[in-house]
Amino acid sequence: MTTEETAKICLMTTGGTISSIYDERTQALRPGLAVDELLERLPKGLRNIEVIKRELFQLDSANAQPHHWQTLAGAIKQVSEEIKDLRGIVVSHGTDTMTYSSAAVSFMIQNFGKPIVFTGAQIPASIPWSDGPRNLLDAMRVAAFGDLGETVIVFNGEIHRATRAKKVRVNSYDAFDSMDPSPTGILARDIVLYEGRIRRNMSLIPRFDTRLDDRVFLLKVFPGLPPQALAKIIDMGYHGIVIEGFGSGNIPTDENALTGGILQAMDQGCFVVVSSQCAFGQADLSVYEVGHAAMDVGAMSAYDMTSEAALVKLAWVLGHTREPDRVRDMMGISYVGEMSYSGTPGQLHAP
């Protein structure tokens, strides 16, 4: 398809900074712009893109919950079944939890065959110098004409795989980076896409699977963390814990050792995954004794997954099984390019 032909896409709005307005009562920003008001900020006469509009939420993304991910995936399923010649989906979303929501959609919608593009803004679209209109227009362009068949984040002229992205800047327009490998592509005069992406394939039969176990906890290790914290998490009824270790996934094993807490968690049917606090690199529990100790008591490595992707993936896996060997097997499979491995990104893996 060329950019001279009309492409049909769906824009789903969920709130976030891009749709925010200033509330005189609270003297703070809150989501408030409707989908038509967002589109009014774009250049007139988008003659080659037809936009189907869906308003889902008016949420600050700090308020997004796992059930919102499921609702969003369900809405994408519905519109894709209703409109057979749909070229892609754009989701406008707050930046704070965009990596969680987009990663969740990646796992819940596989083999979609066309782009699901998340975008947003650092400055509300209601403000003249907002980055929102540019990001939204770029996202619509990628959804309509990009040779992509996966869920991505389009922001500040870059295209990031959703499961490999992290928000790294609070105020800069350049809010997101890809955490190894490099971005999936960039927006220039043309859409420039790199090797390793999942390509558009309109003949695929999408696989929708929104099962989740939302009882997964993310715990960041810090000097002085009391090991009793793990017991408290288990007592609260959590079924999985992602521990952000130091460096390559290292944890305290001497004073305030966490190994006993990990062993207790595993004995009580609570699965533990260790990721790294570092933005780049991977959790390799075999390097140091303090990492090996976690592996010896049953913790799984997140490898080079981001902590956000590891948490969402563990929730998705536990939504399918609590059988220990199957959980371990599924956490070791790269379903949607969320970690580096020797297979083909986008290969279908049945849970």
Catalytic option among 13, 14, 17, 151? 17
Is residue 96 flagged as an active site residue?
yes
For 74, other C-beta atoms within 10 Å of its C-beta total 15
Q: Which residue has the tokens 């969740």?
A: 104
Catalytic option among 71, 167, 214, 296? 167
Catalytic option among 13, 14, 60, 95? 95
Is residue 3 flagged as an active site residue?
no
Is residue 344 flagged as an active site residue?
no
Smallest Cα–Cα separation from 52: which of 22, 21, 13?
Answer: 13
Q: Which residue has the tokens 């999936």?
A: 184
CA distance 239 to 96: 25
Catalytic option among 13, 60, 96, 306? 96
Is residue 84 flagged as an active site residue?
no
Positions marked catalytic = 17, 95-96, 167
